[in-house]
Amino acid sequence: MKRNLYYTALIFLLAAVLQGCSTEKNTRASRAYHNLTSKYNIYFNGRESLKAGLKRIEENVQDDFTQILPVYLESYPTAGNTSRADMDNAVLKGTKLIQIHSITKKPKRQRIRTRAYQEFASREEFNNWVDDSYLLIGQAYFYQHNFVSAAENFALVTRKFPEEKVRYDALVWLMRCYSEMERYTEARDILLAMQSDRLFPRKLEKELAKAAADMYLKQKEYQEALKFLDIALKKSYNGKEKARLQYIMAQLYRQTGNEAKASEAYRAVGKHNPPYKMAFNARINAAGMFSGQGDPEKLKKELRKLLREEKNAEFRDQIYFALANIFYKEGNQEQALENYRLSVATSTDNDHQLALSAVTLADIYFRDKSYREAQAYYDTAVMVLDEEYPGYERLSQLHDGLTRLVEELTVVEVQDSLQKLALMPENERERLIDQWIAQLREKERQDELIAARQQSQAGYYRSNEYRFGLGRSSEGGGWYFYNPQTVTYGKAQFQQEWGRRKLEDDWRRMNKQTVSDEEYGEFAELADSTRAVVRITDPMEKAYYTQDLPLNDSLMALSHEKIRDALYNAGRIFKSDFSDYPRAVETLTDLNRRYPSNIYLLSAWFELYDACELMGDHARAAEYRQLIIDRYPDSKYAQYLQNPDFFTQEEARRREVDRIYQETFRDYKAGRYEEVLTRTAAMKRMSPDSILLPKIDFMESIASGARADMESMGEKLKGYIATYPKAEPTPLAREILTLISDSTLADYQKLVDLGYLHDEIRNEEVEAGNPAETDEFGGKFSYDEDLLHYFVIVYPRSGGVDVNRLKFDIANYNLDHYTRLDFDITEESLDAATNLLSVRSLLNKEQALIYFRAIIRQPEVFRSLGSTPFNNFVASSANYRQMITDQSVSDYLRFFLRNYSRFIGPDFTPEEQPGESPEELMARAQREDEILQERGRFVTVDVPASSGLFSAVTDTTQNFVLAIMDKNMSIRTMLNQFADFNRDQFRIWNLALQLKQAGDYQFMVVRGLPGFTESLSYFRKVILERALFRSLGQTTYRNFIITDENLERLLERGDVDSYLEFFRARYIQQGAAGTPAGTVPSGGGAGAPASGQAAPASGTAANTASPETIPGRTTPPAPAGGRTTTGAVSAGTATTGATTPSQAAASYTGVYDLRIEEPHFYLVIVPSQGFDREAFTASVAAFCQSEFPGKNLTVEEQKLDDFRTIVRISGFGNKTEASEFQGKITARRTLFAPLGSLSYRHFMVTPRNYETFLQRKNITEYLDFYKIAYPGMP
């Protein structure tokens, strides 16, 4: 019995202790318990995980010593994934500590409240390790490169624990986060604040200096970085850390040209016991710091000593590179080149050094115009570099151009050799081939002797197997690779056979480029198609050498054609790509010498003329000029050379042809065939365009045939079809011919009256487009992709542009790349200050875009523009005329960016190689469009006002959702980009980012959009920021706006497609009407709100497949008050006839009062944050005092909601006075300058309606009323 009582008492005692230690109680015992268990249990384990992750980074992340080292090893991109598991565990431990041991309950009040007690009781957290846990979580996120989450935790520490010393640690880490996210202004603000904080702890001064150095280093502000590196170095007591800082300082001294200090710093690195690789690089760089003074032989001796040491075998490429640099600075280029070549040859494990050596070598060869050697080493560099390498674009362009050049030169050499061998007497050729085969056999015999010698050496290796542990069984069944002796032996055997090879996939292959499944398929198809052609591959057979010889006349002619084409292409590459005019002249002269009557003669002569002019050899240029004029007097080259205004006159001629063509077409439709015949004859004498000529001939054939009988017309049509078998009117001509043959056509004019011919023979270049009925551009631009298009250059008249030269360069480009098309180049005035140059005509939008992308990659075409600012784009004929009418291109440029954006990028994709002709690119685009024709499009589906699945109330707080159809995809990069975007563009809204999952999607949710209109503004701006979506690549995604309530429903159901239908009906269509779904429409008013917020265009995409194919894009929001606004037609406005203001007022049934003949307020609604609101209000008050001194106007502020403030001007006796004020304040644009790009609204209102507006807070609703009550007001 006593024992039972004892156990019962013990249980109650333990329960009391545990209850006393609950986080719901804040006693001395509970605090001691939770502090103790936090520190020595959860927090300790979290710190250990963090340390393990750091050790993993240190062991696995390698420095690139060919580039300036980052201050922190964890800054390398690969570091984020290296320690992910350990850092996840650290986050888990920190979160667990906060959840289990956080004490936020206030302690029991004491009767005597001392100051110390009051300070203690005012704390928000009473567990001493919670703030450290937040810091731990932030650090773990930082090492994972989740900088957004890390910054949130560090910022929380600074806000929640402002009196704790840990806030300084958090600020340093927050500064590092901002530096990694390239938010340098905020990082610098933190640095300045901490530098001026007298309480900043001395123990953190080193970390602050390192963080500052890191920030400046990332911005390439090297002098500032050096200052802070020096501070950090002096305050550091860790040898490894000091060595790293010293090495970076040496690199920066070298980068800033202070080679003496750089050499000194490199030599100081070794004093801090660095890792061997760093120590070696420091020695190499110190030895290589030769500036032409001092003793270079001593440096070479030191480097050669390093070269002989076996432990430096893997660093021989770097040693040779340093030696080469010394020789090069001495002026001994031959020895420098030899050592650079050795550096490339011995580099097997260090891609960074291989690339550096190859690029240096290639640059020297390129400067010396040794193009073959330069191409070979640029090729080596490009194979191992990625696109992030500094200067990669230049290297890639040089490599591509040199590759094309070398290919052409190789064709000439190979064909010359084959021809020489083919033209030999057969007995000489046989003797020469026998000699080659004998040489190969001798080489083969020598190789066999070397192989036998190596085999005997292998026997020696095998005799030592027992010594290496291979001749006896391993004790304990140990695995082969657990024995270091066997591994060493295996390495030796491998190197005997293969030499030193880099550890990578396909290490046996000389060409490391990967072969995709598609390429294997292409190879298989090619093999099938060429199976009948058997090639000899054995060089010991005579047929191997004779199989490609041009031994008959046809093969010899084909060989000459290859040489001819290659010489012409090489000459153009020398001139256009590399500006090597002497080599261009030499090559093109060789072309004309070998083939005096070649098909390129005219073009080659002009290239020679141009190259000689550029070289300054004007006498020789004059010779070629005269040759062109004498031999080809009717060519455009000759006409340009004789008349610099040739293209201007051509433009005038073409305009006249267009004018006559329109008159002829009108006569043709009216049946006035005599006039048709007269005008077509006149146009033919004016040399019409090749596109227009078949249409002119068709009208002429019909007109002449219509005057005779049907049989004569049939004969005319037969002749037309024979002449123009592929012209646009030809199918129609065949159809008419069939009708005539069947005797079903008695009167041709009946066919014309039926509109049978209009589409086929109209001149599309002067046809009006069919603009969209409702879009942000008011329907003035055509969306018709099948209209003829122009390539347009816009430039200022004051730029001093040599227009004739520009026209000629474009014409020259067209002749080279469009052999089957004939373009016209015309010049036209846009306004008094601007000119347009257009290339006409491209068949449709697709061909125009291919032309655009191809020509903008040819800088020599635009050389005559010099430094003059210019724009270039493509436009349909209808849109081009609209620009002329507007006398402005600004609106069209926005239209172009919306609808042609897929093709605007400056670079081709890897598949679109610059070597392809524009015609090949056109064919590729057609194939791709057939495959991807459904991407980025949707069909608007009309759904009921309330589908029942989602709430129809949308006039509330909103969220933007990006739904990505890949639950496992990492979107960390995009989260960082969205965080920056939100902070830069929508700072005052304090938006938050969250990740969710629903169905097959992962959601990125932007929370906190204030309302319906604001959410659409955000949506429009986001979808125009294509860079935000670039990291998604080809991954399918959707984006939309959604309320909190509907988001919860969507997360439960996971049915994204159903919500997208709801979104289109409730947001896109309602948004175009300017009325949020779920609110009462205030009548049938039409038009866009008189504000800075543009209503979204109907059809804005929500289910885009890529950021480049978002249909229905609209302009980003622009403030009112002088800023351009975009109209949108609201629902219910498609009525016939006009509606008078009185009719509209009579039909109004909303909440506002139409009795407005009474005193008024004038309101300016501005954001509550993001600008100097007090200064703005003061400037409005000053404006009222200066412009209306006798009115006694008063200016005051009133809060509208958490995000918007009303600046209210009172004192207007009636609507007329308020209208006068509106006119003056709208004209004073400088008044609104402090707002910058922020959105604002301003309008007048009666006091009665003002009270209603304050209750409803719906600007859109009031503006609908405003348009009815104040018609004609802005």
Residue 607 CB partners (closer than 8 Å, separation 6+): 571, 572, 575, 584, 588
Q: What pLDDT digit, counting tens, does each position of 156-187 carry?
A: 888 888 878 888 999 999 999 999 988 898 89
Residue 166 CB partners (closer than 8 Å, separation 6+): 131, 132, 135, 157
**Contact assessment for residue 699 and residue 664, using Cβ atoms and an 8 Å cutoff:** yes
Ranges 893-897, 901-905, 1077-1081: which has the least confidence = 1077-1081
Question: In whole angstroms, how far apart are CA 1025 and each of 180, 364, 1032, 1103, 1174?
Answer: 21, 42, 13, 16, 32
Q: What pLDDT digit, counting tens, does each position of 393-427 carry?
A: 888 888 888 999 999 999 999 999 898 988 989 88
d(CA 57, CA 868): 51
Q: What pLDDT digit, counting tens, does each position of 187-204 carry?
A: 999 999 888 888 899 999
Between 522 and 1144, residue with greater pLDDT: 1144
Of 521-525, 715-719, 1141-1145, give the range with the top mean pLDDT: 715-719
In which band, very low, low, confident or very high, does the pLDDT at 7 lie, cut at 50, 70 and 90? low
How is residue 1115 annotated by DSSP? P
Query: What mean pLDDT value characterizes the chain?
Result: 76
d(CA 673, CA 749): 11
In which band, very low, low, confident or very high, does the pLDDT at 1009 lie, cut at 50, 70 and 90? confident
Ranges 225-229, 778-782, 786-790: which has the least confidence = 778-782
Helices (H), 724-876: 730-741, 748-753, 758-761, 803-817, 845-855
d(CA 502, CA 307): 20
User: What integer pLDDT is reported at residue 532 of this predicted model?
Assistant: 45
Task: Please state the domain extents for the chain.
Answer: 430-457+518-546, 553-638, 646-762, 772-929, 934-1118, 1141-1269
In which band, very low, low, confident or very high, does the pLDDT at 14 lie, cut at 50, 70 and 90? low
**Contact assessment for residue 1109 and residue 1038, using Cβ atoms and an 8 Å cutoff:** no
Does 479 have pLDDT greater than 80? Answer: no
Helices (H), 184-258: 184-195, 205-218, 222-235, 239-255
Average pLDDT over residues 224-235: 92
**Contact assessment for residue 794 and residue 887, using Cβ atoms and an 8 Å cutoff:** no
In which band, very low, low, confident or very high, does the pLDDT at 986 lie, cut at 50, 70 and 90? confident
Task: Tell me how crowded residue 822 is: count the other CB atoms within 10 A of its CB.
Answer: 12
Average pLDDT over residues 59-83: 87
Query: Mapping DSSP to helix (H, G, I), strand (E, B) and coil, where does residue 1241 land?
Result: strand
User: What integer pLDDT is reported at residue 288 of this predicted model?
Assistant: 67
| Domain range 1141-1269, CATH class | alpha beta
User: What integer pLDDT is reported at residue 228 of this predicted model?
Assistant: 93
In which band, very low, low, confident or very high, does the pLDDT at 336 lie, cut at 50, 70 and 90? confident
User: What integer pLDDT is reported at residue 680 of this predicted model?
Assistant: 86
d(CA 751, CA 733): 12
Average pLDDT over residues 327-354: 85
Q: What pLDDT digit, counting tens, does each position of 580-619 carry?
A: 999 999 999 999 999 998 888 989 998 999 899 998 999 9
User: What integer pLDDT is reported at residue 807 of this predicted model?
Assistant: 84
How is residue 221 annotated by DSSP? -
HSE of 472 in the Cβ direction (CA atoms, 13 Å)?
A: 8
**β-bridge partners, 790:** 875
Q: What pLDDT digit, counting tens, does each position of 662-694 carry?
A: 888 888 877 888 888 888 888 888 878 777 888
User: What integer pLDDT is reported at residue 1245 of this predicted model?
Assistant: 93
User: What integer pLDDT is reported at residue 58 of this predicted model?
Assistant: 87
Q: What pLDDT digit, counting tens, does each position of 1168-1219 carry?
A: 777 778 878 888 888 888 788 777 889 999 888 777 889 999 998 888 888 8
Burial annotation 510-538 (CB, 10 A radius, 16+ → b, else e): eeeeeeeeeeeeeeeeeeeeeeeeeeeee
User: What integer pLDDT is reported at residue 112 of this predicted model?
Assistant: 61
Q: Which tokens in the block code for residue 154?
A: 């560090």
Burial of 972 (0-12, 13-18, 19+ CB in 10 A): middle
Average pLDDT over residues 1018-1035: 77
**CATH value of 553-638 in 3.30.70.260, 1.10.3720.10, 3.30.1050.10, 1.25.40.10:** 1.25.40.10
Q: Which tokens in the block code for residue 905?
A: 């990028």
Average pLDDT over residues 881-890: 83
Between 1150 and 958, residue with greater pLDDT: 958
User: What integer pLDDT is reported at residue 792 of this predicted model?
Assistant: 92
Q: What pLDDT digit, counting tens, does each position of 270-296 carry?
A: 888 888 888 888 887 877 676 555 577
In which band, very low, low, confident or very high, does the pLDDT at 117 lie, cut at 50, 70 and 90? low
User: What integer pLDDT is reported at residue 634 of this predicted model?
Assistant: 82
Q: Is the peptide bond before 30 cis (omega within 30 degrees of 0)?
A: no
